[in-house]
Amino acid sequence: MAYSTLLLLWQLSLAFAVSVTICFLAFLFTLPSAYNPYHPDLIEEDDFTAEDKKKTESGYGYFSKHRTTNQTLKTETSVQVVVLGDIGRSPRMQYHALSIARHGGRVYLVGCQESDVHPGVLANRLISIVPIRPLPTWLGTSSKPLFPIIAPLKALWQAWALYQALGYRTRPTKWMLVQNPPAIPTLLVAHFICFFRNTSLIIDWHNFGSSLLALRLSPTHPIVRLSFHYERFFAKGATAHFAVTAAMARVLKKDYNAQAVTLHDRPSADFQPLTAERRKRFLQRLPETKEYAQDLETGAWKLIVSSTSWTADEDFSLLLDALVSYSSACNSNPSKRLPKILAIITGKGPLKEHYLFRIRALN
């Protein structure tokens, strides 16, 4: 090789080594700060407005009871509650945030802020909402042929947005409670942040990322198997686990080697049965039931209300098929006088149009 070529190679590798070192140093010096129990979050009198002091939901009651002589509250527990999705449509994570705050924990609720958030969360001064930067619209497409290209780009964008929110836009916390799925990239970013911020990770299992992916691809697809191992690997590193059902806790133990505590979904205390009189008035007022209020009262019609997220993992065809068989049972046994059914389905989601089309076709 000519001397000049060698010189060029040498210069190129030198330049490369220098840039790698600079990037690495920049990364080291801008690492997010770590949690230290001797510098807890302090809540002060000034954090509450005059309006807040009149309301119990603001957490002022807890504050006035537990503050120290110099009028500050040292929070023993601090938690980042993380959902890589819309906060308003994640009731479970909002309830987690509310329960932690009610017991005097400082909460950073990290997620996308799209629909309305629970009023109790907004009112509570111990809870701060930290919005994740939303996905650019061109990455939001759900077209199946583009999935292999869009999905990794989307994951990269989300990883970066989540990293920013968790690492730089919240103070370091003792705990991080993260919703799974989506597992990619949430668990990876969460572990990374927890490692550098001295935070302990808790995973709240609503489902398995790999089984959701299997609905989209196929159970034996290599990406699905890879994502199962990814999820299992990161599950092992967490400090604790919550599961929505006992069955899910069993699967976690068997397949993921993770010991989970079951926390069933429960409606909040805001949801209370109506008295007979109020129910009657409500049915007469609601546009969807107004026409049938009388029949519902007498029992000639029955009302079914169901909410769904219109996604592949919530198989709506189960209810639809049941309604179809009920309808044919009514038609074949007119003498039995089975009650008619008014079904109200609420929710937004990707498969809504598909099912509306099927329902129209049934008519």
Please tell me the number of Cα atoms within 13 Å of 193 on its side-chain side: 30
Residues that bind ligand NAG (CB under 6 A): 34-37, 42, 68, 70, 72, 74, 174, 198
Cβ contact 106:126 at 8 Å: yes
When the beta carbons of 107 and 243 are compared against ligand NAG, the nearer one is 107
The least distance separating ligand NAG from the CB of residue 329, rounded to whole angstroms, comes to 60
To the nearest 10 degrees (0 to 180), the angle between helices 222-236 and 186-197 is 20
Give me Rg for the CA atoms of the chain. 26
Helix, strand, coil percent values for the chain (each to nearest 5) = 50, 15, 35
Using the minimum distance from each CB to ligand NAG, give the nearer residue, 81 or 249.
Answer: 81
174 or 206, CB closer to ligand NAG?
Answer: 174
Torsion angle in degrees (nearest 10) through CA of 180, 185, 188, 192: -110
Q: What angle do CA 57, 124, 44 make, to 5 degrees?
A: 110
35 vs 60 by CB, closer to ligand NAG: 35
- 38's enclosing H/E stretch is none
* Beta carbon nearer to ligand NAG, 46 or 277: 46
The tokens of 163 are what? 């990293």
Return the number of the residue (68 or 331) whose C-beta is nearest ligand NAG. 68
- Tell me if residue 27 falls in helix, strand or coil: helix
**Per-residue tokens: 203:** 């995973």
CB of 198 to ligand NAG, least distance (A): 4
Nearer residue to ligand NAG within complex by CB, 174 or 191: 174
User: How far is C-alpha 334 from the chain's CA centre?
Assistant: 46
- The least CB distance from residue 56 to ligand NAG, in Å, is 24
Shortest Å distance, C-beta 39 to ligand NAG: 8
CB of 177 to ligand NAG, least distance (A): 15
Q: What is the DSSP string of 287-330?
A: TTTGGGHHHHHHTSEEEEEEE---STTS-THHHHHHHHHHHHHH
Cβ at position 320, least distance to ligand NAG in Å: 49
Instruction: Count the Cβ atoms, other than its own, within 10 Å of residue 45.
Output: 14
Cα(150)–Cα(172) distance, rounded to whole angstroms? 32
d(Cα 339, Cα 293) in Å, to the nearest integer? 14
Shortest spacing between CB 68 and ligand NAG, in angstroms:
5
CB of 105 closer than 8 Å to CB of 174:
no
Query: CB 33 → ligand NAG: shortest distance, Å?
Result: 10
* Cβ nearer to ligand NAG, comparing 74 with 92: 74
Nearer to ligand NAG, 198 or 262 (CB): 198
Provide the minimum distance between the beta carbon of 176 and ligand NAG in the complex, in angstroms, as a whole number: 12
Looking at the Cβ atoms of 37 and 267, the one nearer to ligand NAG is 37
CB of 205 to ligand NAG, least distance (A): 23
> What does DSSP say about strands 175-180 and 127-131: parallel, antiparallel, or unpaired?
unpaired
